[in-house]
Amino acid sequence: MMKDRRFKSSIVIEPRLGRVREVRSLREAAEALLRDWPGDDLPKRQKAMATCLSALKGDVQPHRARRDFIEAAREARLLMGD
């Protein structure tokens, strides 16, 4: 069973110029990685997708998925306020 978990603090990304998205949970992070990312082949995106899925399954702590999501957003130059 997939279980969504809210992050302690949200992550703000800008997937397209002028479009800002606030990511507040595991589900929102997974959706952003699937729908808003500028490339499928970025290594940190792949890692973040795997970690988010594991966290949704309950196999990994949400803070690890949040950390990997932030690293993927940095790699893709989407992270705001960084």
43-78 per-position pLDDT tens digit: 999 999 999 999 999 999 999 999 999 999 999 999
**Within a domain: 11:** no
**Within a domain: 73:** yes
- What is the pLDDT, as a whole number, of residue 3? 78
Q: How many folded domains does the chain comprise?
A: 1
**Within a domain: 51:** yes
**Within a domain: 49:** yes
Q: Above 70 in pLDDT, residue 1?
A: no
Q: How many CA atoms lie within 13 A of 10 on its CB side?
A: 10
Helix (H) or strand (E) holding 19: strand 19-25
Give the C-alpha distances (Å, rounded to integers) separating 75 from 3, 6, 24, 26, 56.
27, 23, 19, 19, 23
* Domain carrying residue 41: 24-82
2/9 Cα distance (integer angstroms): 21
**Within a domain: 62:** yes
**Within a domain: 16:** no
Residue 58 backbone zone (phi > 0: left; psi -120 to 50: alpha; other: beta):
left
**Within a domain: 39:** yes
The structure's pTM equals 0.92
